[in-house]
Amino acid sequence: MHCVCLGVMRKLLNTWLGPDKAVKLNGKKIIDISNYLTSTSSCIPLEINRKPRSLSDLPRWKATEFRTFLLYVGPVALHRVINSAIYEHFLLLHSSITILISEKFISKFMNLARTFINTFVKHSEHIYGEQFIIYNVHMLCHLCDDVTLYGVLDSFSAFCFENYLGQLKRLIKKPSKPLQQLCRRLGELHQNADSFITSAAQTSLFLAHVMGPLIPKYNFIQVSQFKKVIYDDLTLIIHSYSVANSYCLVEDNEKIKVVEVQNILSSSVGVEIIGKQFHKFKSFYSYPFDSQNLHIYRVFSFSTELYSWPLQNVIAKCIALPYLNNEKVIFPLLHTV
């Protein structure tokens, strides 16, 4: 949180908006980026707590906003707006941090992440000058070693502690003896931890309806229809009810499909999703390596036909951001990969 988001990512944005004419963005580019950021507010799923704000609000951005920019919105907002060398330099940071947040990606691409980070730091001085190499930029060189020791970045970042502060505050009911109150309430939560863990692993269905759509294979099967499902860390909602929460990646015969969820069904055979899939998709970027390695796709050409998949075939929830010519760029929400 402090090294990457509040450190390096904020430093990059402040540099692009700063006085150095060699890397400073002109007024039109700043407006273009800001307009894109604010236009994506309806695309942000519920797992991301804050909607993107304009660059004019940059001094008031929180750490989670820098994180959202680095991992999801930034690569699209900056594409074809900033200098290609600066953009590719930014993608080195984006790709490496994306890898280090996902256990799946770490197992495949840890050595690449180390190379990307070292290249990012090496080129930072050439692009931005010696004054850019602050302590946080140097700290990036040690991130891969930390991940090797402690696991994915989120397992030892400060985000969980910052997020938990609000919960701790809500446990305190009166001003006197706050520590004693916290100890008692935390002890009660610890005693009930097993029941919380058990319930969290279950599939929960919400918002029953009868509006469809259905496909022919369900004509002779009794099914219940729902608008929302929570499964482990995934919350999916049908497209007609919440556009931002309706996109996911599905594994189908060892192929990855990008799906827009149209309905959620429960029957004797289990929970399934009905949806449309994108027929055509390709890489969004090719440097520093193919974005499809990180399940990041540029998608277009929707199917008119509906398909169904078991819920357990869903491998990640996605954020779908608008792109050129009614296309979308798909990013997996990294905690769900």
Which residues have CB under 8 Å from 175's CB, separation 6+? none
| Domains, in order of start, for the chain | 4-155 (no CATH), 159-191 (no CATH), 203-336 (2.30.30)
Measured N-to-C along each axis, helices 143-150 and 84-101 cross at an angle, to the nearest 10 degrees, of: 20
Tens digit of pLDDT at every position of the chain (337 positions) = 678 989 899 999 999 999 888 899 999 999 999 999 999 999 999 999 899 999 999 999 999 999 999 999 999 999 999 999 999 999 999 999 999 999 999 999 999 999 999 999 999 999 999 889 988 898 999 999 999 999 888 887 766 656 666 677 778 888 888 888 888 877 877 777 655 444 445 789 999 999 999 999 887 788 999 999 998 878 999 999 999 999 999 999 889 999 999 999 999 889 999 999 998 889 999 999 999 999 999 999 888 899 999 999 999 999 999 999 889 999 999 877 6
CA distance readout (Å), 294 to 16, 89, 248, 258, 286: 27, 18, 14, 13, 11
Task: Say if residue 303 is exposed, middle or buried (CB neighbours under 10 Å; 0-12, 13-18, 19+).
Answer: middle
Backbone angles phi, psi at 66, to 5 degrees: -65, -35
Q: How far is Cα 249 from Cα 103, in angstroms, rounded to an integer?
A: 17
322-328: Cβ within 8 A, 24+ apart = 322/39, 322/40, 322/43, 323/76, 323/298, 325/300, 326/300, 327/298, 327/299, 327/300, 328/298, 328/299, 328/300
